[in-house]
Chains A and B, each alone.
Chain A
Amino acid sequence: MDLLDGWIASGWRLTAEEWTAIELSLRVAAVATLASLPFGIAAALALARGRFRGKMLLDGLVHLPLVLPPVVTGYALLLLFGRRGPLGSALEQHFGIVLSFRWTGAALACALMGFPLLVRAIRLAIEGIDERLEAAAGTLGASRAWVFLTVTLPLALPGVIAGAVLCFAKALGEFGATITFVSNIPGETRTIPAAIYGYVQAPGGEAGALRLSIVAVVIAFGALLASEWLARRSRPGARAGEAGAR
């Protein structure tokens, strides 16, 4: 009963290092989700409504991180965005942005891994919208951009929220690509999963691993509940007294 003894000895209290990991994880996941949201909506719109050559290719590229081993994705990021990689060196020279071994790099890795889930949810929501509604808005004088902002996006909102939550949850749990791309640096790239991995590797770390695991469960569950609540609120005509009167 080493684990239980350790647990009792250390109590519920999270160490400063663990708090740092939690804060970092939330920051990485939030930035990854918010930054990829515009791209995710654009990709979903293109896949749902677009008619262009190379749509299959785009579809494949978006979904690639879902089926690739995360380590491969992380390694590809390292090759491309590492300080000597073609994109990484360009970013550093022109914008002074360094991604490798920084928390921003962790956010990039998480965004990439969460992207397929984000796009998929939004795409399904857009495909579920009656295109004739968009045509109707067009005949009322709304340009394509306005139709998107006033019809497509509001009607797809439940899907956007669901996709964002999935992406956020995936980003919180992302491990393989992150650790390969940006390593496991305390305070910089040591997110909750990396910290748990670290605890498990070191002797006597079980209590810390358990504490962080519980935190991860609580955050994930909270995110799911929040998304459910938001989706209910944003579903058109689903408020009390308005449903089912067709």
Chain B
Amino acid sequence: MIRFSCRLARPGFAFDVAFEAGAGVTALFGPSGSGKTTAIRLLAGLEQPDRGHASLDDTVLLDTDRGIAVAPHRRRIGLVFQDALLLPHLSVRANLAYGRWFTPKPERRIALEPVVDVLGIGHLLDRRPGSLSGGERQRVAIGRALLASPRLLLMDEPLASLDRERKLEILPFIERLRDEFAIPVIYVSHAIDEVARLAAHVVRLEAGRVAAAGPPRNVLSPALAMAGSRFDAVSFLEAVVTRYLTDYGVTVLAHPAGDIVVPGRSGPDGARVRLAIPAAGVTLARGRPEGLSVRTMLTGRLTGLETDDGPLALVSIALPGGDMLRAYATRLAIDGLGLAAGDEVTALVKTVSIDESLLAGRD
């Protein structure tokens, strides 16, 4: 259990944040300048608050009232930076061994081989950081932090400097380390898809304060309404794996509103899965259309229409089971179909537009 509460005033920036984080991934989420990185630096001991308290399980890391401020190298908190910050004069192997070397022998819980396996960096060990790609470097940085057997792993926008493909390459590794090494993770990001995929608990920061905290469904949806950028709007649904179709390489999930087909294998039968569905990837229809390639058709009731002078409307659909699905449609199409609040609609979702991830915690 991590307890954090710090205040800090700098010219043009006031920071007053308190939160708690347990096992699994806790996301610090918010726009840039909201204080995410400051919180991380305070936890790591790289910055000092005007007043504050931080503890990890029963170890007090920081207590300004009692004059306690444990030095960064004694906190045993791993930190993965946005830039990998590998030591350029050392080989990948030496970088990985660096933190391990400073860890007291009885506390070395994590061995080299499983980390190298999970991160897929075995073939890089004898290379120098300068010759690695951005994604490879970031994986080595994660491994280096892990091998110091930290009691808490802080990740400060670890994927922000990577392009989308590299992100998709690394996200599964972060999921595996979350599940296999049982180290609590505090994950800083302003990317809603990363947060939705990884975190069991989200702390949303705004202008140096906590705006909301809780499970992702509760915290992220209001954030979407405020995000402004319409193509960032994403809905989160929960479904259960029913079967994997080996011949087609897709998984069929059961949702009260209808079956959902996602690419790849999502998990064992019966596993609960959280899906992120971008509003731009949803098509609306009256009744159940036939002769389409779309396999996922969800039936629900239209509850809201948000429009402005622009060509698009954001449609909210209440699905059976309580989930909310959002869809973009042109105002032209809304009027053409004569859609209004209270109507029953079918939402068509293209399989390829769905991003899924196993639920981290059963919240």
Q: Which of A139, A147, A150, A242 is packed against the most chain B CB atoms within 10 Å? A: A139
Q: In the complex, what residues of A have CB within 8 A of residue B145's CB?
A: 139-140
> Is B87 within 8 A of A142, CB to CB?
no
Q: Residue on B with the closest CB to A155?
A: B89
Q: In the complex, what residues of A have CB within 8 A of residue B271's CB?
A: none
Give a binary string over B42-84; 1 marks a CB under 8 Å from any A CB, 0 the rest: 0010100000000000000000000000011111111101010
| B71 to A: closest C-beta gap in Å | 8
Q: In the complex, what residues of A have CB within 8 A of residue B73's CB?
A: 138-144, 146-147
A237-B130, A242-B131 given; A141·B46 CB < 8 A:
no
| B350 to A: closest C-beta gap in Å | 37
Complex Cα distance A140/B101, Å?
9
Q: In the complex, what residues of A have CB within 8 A of residue B132's CB?
A: 245
Does B99 belong to the interface (CB within 8 Å)? yes
> Is A151 within 8 A of B87, CB to CB?
yes
| B62 to A: closest C-beta gap in Å | 15
A242-B130, A245-B131, A246-B130 given; A138·B89 CB < 8 A:
no
> Is B77 within 8 A of A139, CB to CB?
yes
Complex Cα distance A154/B144, Å?
19
Contact of A155 among B85, B88, B102 (CB under 8 A): B88
> Chain A: interface residue count, which band?
20 to 34
Contact of A237 among B81, B102, B128 (CB under 8 A): B128
Does B173 belong to the interface (CB within 8 Å)? no
Does A130 belong to the interface (CB within 8 Å)? yes
Complex Cα distance A132/B79, Å?
11
A135-B72, A136-B81, A242-B131 given; A141·B99 CB < 8 A:
yes
Complex Cα distance A133/B95, Å?
12
Complex Cα distance A150/B95, Å?
11
Give a binary string over A227-238; 1 marks a CB under 8 Å from any B CB, 0 the rest: 000000000110
> Is A133 within 8 A of B72, CB to CB?
no
A242-B128, A242-B130, A242-B131 given; A140·B98 CB < 8 A:
yes
Q: Which of B78, B79, B128, B132 is packed against the most chain A CB atoms within 10 Å? A: B128
A141-B76, A141-B99 given; A136·B128 CB < 8 A:
no
> Is A141 within 8 A of B103, CB to CB?
yes
Q: In the complex, what residues of B have CB within 8 A of residue A245's CB?
A: 130-132
Complex Cα distance A154/B88, Å?
10
Contact of A139 among B44, B87, B130 (CB under 8 A): B44
Complex Cα distance A237/B92, Å?
12
> Is B89 within 8 A of A237, CB to CB?
yes
Q: In the complex, what residues of B have CB within 8 A of residue A243's CB?
A: 130
Q: Which of B44, B72, B103 is packed against the most chain A CB atoms within 10 Å? A: B72
| B92 to A: closest C-beta gap in Å | 12
Q: Residue on B with the closest CB to A143?
A: B73
Complex Cα distance A135/B45, Å?
10
Q: In the complex, what residues of B have CB within 8 A of residue A132's CB?
A: 81, 83, 85
Complex Cα distance A146/B81, Å?
20
A237-B130, A242-B131, A243-B130 given; A137·B77 CB < 8 A:
no
Complex Cα distance A193/B132, Å?
51
| B234 to A: closest C-beta gap in Å | 32
Complex Cα distance A141/B78, Å?
9
Residues of B197-213 whose CB lies within 8 A of A: none
Q: In the complex, what residues of A have CB within 8 A of residue B129's CB?
A: 237
Q: In the complex, what residues of A have CB within 8 A of residue B98's CB?
A: 137, 140, 142, 150
Q: In the complex, what residues of B have CB within 8 A of residue A130's CB?
A: 85
| B108 to A: closest C-beta gap in Å | 11
Q: In the complex, what residues of A have CB within 8 A of residue B101's CB?
A: 141
A136-B79, A242-B131 given; A141·B85 CB < 8 A:
no
Complex Cα distance A237/B128, Å?
7
Complex Cα distance A132/B46, Å?
10
Complex Cα distance A187/B253, Å?
93
| B22 to A: closest C-beta gap in Å | 22
> Is B79 within 8 A of A139, CB to CB?
yes
Give a binary string over A207-246; 1 marks a CB under 8 Å from any B CB, 0 the rest: 0000000000000000000000000000011000111011
| B199 to A: closest C-beta gap in Å | 22
| A241 to B: closest C-beta gap in Å | 8
Q: Residue on B with the closest CB to A243?
A: B130
Give a binary string over A120-136; 1 marks a CB under 8 Å from any B CB, 0 the rest: 00000000001011011
> Is B72 within 8 A of A138, CB to CB?
yes
Complex Cα distance A155/B87, Å?
9
A243-B130, A245-B130, A245-B131 given; A140·B148 CB < 8 A:
yes
Q: Residue on B with the closest CB to A132?
A: B85
Give a binary string over A139-169; 1 marks a CB under 8 Å from any B CB, 0 the rest: 1111110110011001100000000000000
List 6 A-B residue pairs with CB atoms under 8 Å apart, sorted by A's residue number: A130-B85, A137-B87, A141-B73, A142-B102, A236-B89, A236-B130
Given A135-B72, A245-B131, 14 extra CB contacts under 8 A: A133-B85, A136-B85, A138-B73, A139-B75, A139-B77, A139-B145, A140-B78, A140-B102, A140-B145, A141-B102, A154-B89, A236-B88, A237-B88, A242-B131
**Chain B residues within 8 Å of A, Cβ to Cβ:** 44, 46, 71-79, 81, 83, 85, 87-89, 98-99, 101-103, 128-132, 144-145, 148
